Amino acid sequence: MFASMSITEQPDKVNGSIPRRIFAMGLFILWLGIVLYLAFHYVVGRDDVRALSLALQGTDVYAMLKGLHGEGHPAIWYLLLRGAHALDQKPQVLQILSIIVASAATLLLLWQSPFKWPVIALILAGHFSLIEYSVIPRNYGIAMLLLFAFAAIYERHRKRDYWLGLMLLFLANCHLLSMLLVPSLLLLWLVDILCNERAERRVAFNFFLINVAIAALGVGVCLLTTLPTFNDAARVERPSGITLKLLLSAVFLPAAQFRDLILPGYTKLAEGKLAILLSLIMFGSTLGLIRRIGAFVAALASLVGLSMFFALISPGAYRHEALWLVMMVAMYWLATAKGTQEDLVLPARLRSFVGPVSLIGSILFLLILLLQVPVSIRQLVRTFQNGPPYSRSRDLGTLVKSNPNLQEAIIIGDPDFLVEPLSYYIPNQTYLIREQRYGNVVHFTRNARLQISLSDILQNAQTLHTQTGRQVIILLEDRLNAGDSPHVDKEGYDWKLTITPDEVRTFQRSTHLIASFGPVSYDETFDVYTLN
């Protein structure tokens, strides 16, 4: 069954005729072709371009790292982006680098993993592999590559050198969430030593301790880079504190924190009794690892650890939650490779249950992988049918480029983060209203203008025009209607925008609506105004 998937049991030829490496390359070309098609039609959003903007700040790498401190993300992605941009000074290196990293992870999976082809195909068709960690250019794909690489070399290197410690050091500096996976991987390693290294336990333990020190150095560098964050408004405020109910939910109902992963596209269903069932599926999926206790313990620890982070510190989106699924792929990789099965020390009457329990766990894991495929198919169909883009920032770039009167304009927006992705498409200067400064990276800080009015936006635009003599473009997420009653829009984390009918009428008399962009699948859409 699933637990018997050994790399040495995979035949040299698929279906007795096609050489396995050729078949692997065919799968890779198919996967890459779909990724390139989706990437060509993908419109980068603010979170994507924000990383590139941060990577390019400062006159040298040291200045960049100094400015990066407190952003909330470790440095590896920014260093890679700065290096790639030094080779080719085009913003498109953002997507190219993401696809290169994801391609390396995919080739590792195809050539080094012990999984049979249907399982590999299922992994590659999942939303995290096909889109989220490849097409969408962010730092999560590096974590996938490092987790796969860790699984690929673990057995050969855990007793002989320090490559695994270096990988954990780098993994800790991909993302705060990938840093949380480092203790789970060290736990896997420790349990393996305690269970298997009876003859050479002292030597194995010495190597382990040195690698732990290297990994701890990586964790320390990550924390020094990311904390304290200047995005202090992004923290979850809990006036009542951390309650026992919240803590128990984090530990025993992970499906409530992994809604986007366990039911992608149907997150509202993961509540009540269904959340209990889905949590049992998540816990049950780790049982397929029971023959390798270290992998089983690491999978459970990472599930509970990430669930507690999402519940107590910051809620997760699909891109965050899918890191656990990648971790699970790595653990099944280790648990199913040849020579890694353990003889569990159990009473005779319980040994007969190990096989069925492992099989059930493997089936549940396959079910979770299968749940990732429909959302990939929907995205592919939506792209093929020219559905709503991810963001309308490219449309604005096209509009500005086509109008000579706008090519030198200053751009402001509400919310401020509407301007963040624009540097990918146009070189126009952008101004952040709430922080009262020029820039293209928003600080989500409470030390800013948390509440502004529509009149404030108009006044800022007029002031900028007076000071510079340049046209000002105003982007508004709120669709203005003078017939609406006074209201307050909540934006970002702690931001508020107040709008009254009189302000709307004054704003409309003072500006000209030049475009109203339509719906998007995720990020920025807005109306575009210029001053009269």
CB atoms under 10 Å from CB of 254, counted, come to 26
Q: Is the pLDDT reported for residue 145 higher than 50?
A: yes
Pick from 443, 419, 422, 421: nearest CA to 431: 419
The pLDDT score that the predictor gives to residue 14 is 60
- Judge if 459 and 378 occupy the same domain: no
The pLDDT score that the predictor gives to residue 5 is 41
Burial class, 90, CB count within 10 angstroms (exposed 0-12 / middle 13-18 / buried 19+): exposed
For residues 53 and 63, give the distance between their C-alpha atoms in angstroms, rounded to a whole number: 13
For residues 318 and 301, give the distance between their C-alpha atoms in angstroms, rounded to a whole number: 19
Highest mean pLDDT among 62-66, 167-171, 189-193, 485-489: 167-171
- CB 106 within 8 Å of CB 28: yes
At 21-54, the pLDDT tens digits run: 888 899 999 999 999 999 999 999 899 999 999 9
- Judge if 365 and 290 occupy the same domain: yes
- Judge if 416 and 324 occupy the same domain: no
- Could you tell me which residues come within 8 angstroms of residue 145 by beta carbon, excluding any fewer than 6 positions away? 101, 102, 104, 105, 108
Q: 424 lies in a domain?
A: yes
| Per-residue tokens: 68 | 């990066």
For residues 44 and 80, give the distance between their C-alpha atoms in angstroms, rounded to a whole number: 18
At 291-341, the pLDDT tens digits run: 899 999 999 999 999 999 999 988 999 999 999 999 999 999 999 875 555
Burial class, 79, CB count within 10 angstroms (exposed 0-12 / middle 13-18 / buried 19+): middle
- Judge if 376 and 300 occupy the same domain: yes
Domains contained in the chain, number: 2
CB atoms under 10 Å from CB of 199, counted, come to 8
Segment 85-107 shows an average pLDDT of 96
Query: Per the confidence metrics, is the pTM higher than 0.75?
Result: yes
Kindly report the backbone phi and psi dihedral angles of residue 409, in degrees, each rounded to the nearest multiple of 5, phi listed first: -70, 150
- Judge if 238 and 318 occupy the same domain: yes
For residues 422 and 178, give the distance between their C-alpha atoms in angstroms, rounded to a whole number: 29
The pLDDT score that the predictor gives to residue 354 is 81
Secondary structure letter of residue 486 according to DSSP: P
- CB 166 within 8 Å of CB 76: no
- Judge if 309 and 450 occupy the same domain: no
Kindly report the backbone phi and psi dihedral angles of residue 498, in degrees, each rounded to the nearest multiple of 5, phi listed first: -100, 140
Segment 413-418 shows an average pLDDT of 94
What number of CA atoms fall less than 13 Å from residue 6's CA on the CB side?
7
Q: 189 lies in a domain?
A: yes
- Judge if 414 and 365 occupy the same domain: no
| Per-residue tokens: 456 | 């404030």
The pLDDT score that the predictor gives to residue 521 is 84
Domain of 475, in residue numbers: 393-531
The pLDDT score that the predictor gives to residue 338 is 59
Give CA angle at 94 (322, 127), nearest 5°. Answer: 25
Segment 389-418 shows an average pLDDT of 95
User: Which of 383, 418, 446 is where one domain is finished?
Assistant: 383
- CB 131 within 8 Å of CB 265: no
Q: Is the pLDDT reported for residue 2 higher than 50?
A: no
Give the max Cα distance, the chain. 86
* Local confidence band at 4 (pLDDT 50, 70, 90 cut-offs): very low
- CB 158 within 8 Å of CB 334: no
What number of CA atoms fall less than 13 Å from residue 305's CA on the CB side?
20
- Judge if 377 and 483 occupy the same domain: no
Segment 457-479 shows an average pLDDT of 96
Q: 388 lies in a domain?
A: no
User: Which of 349, 383, 417 is where one domain is finished?
Assistant: 383
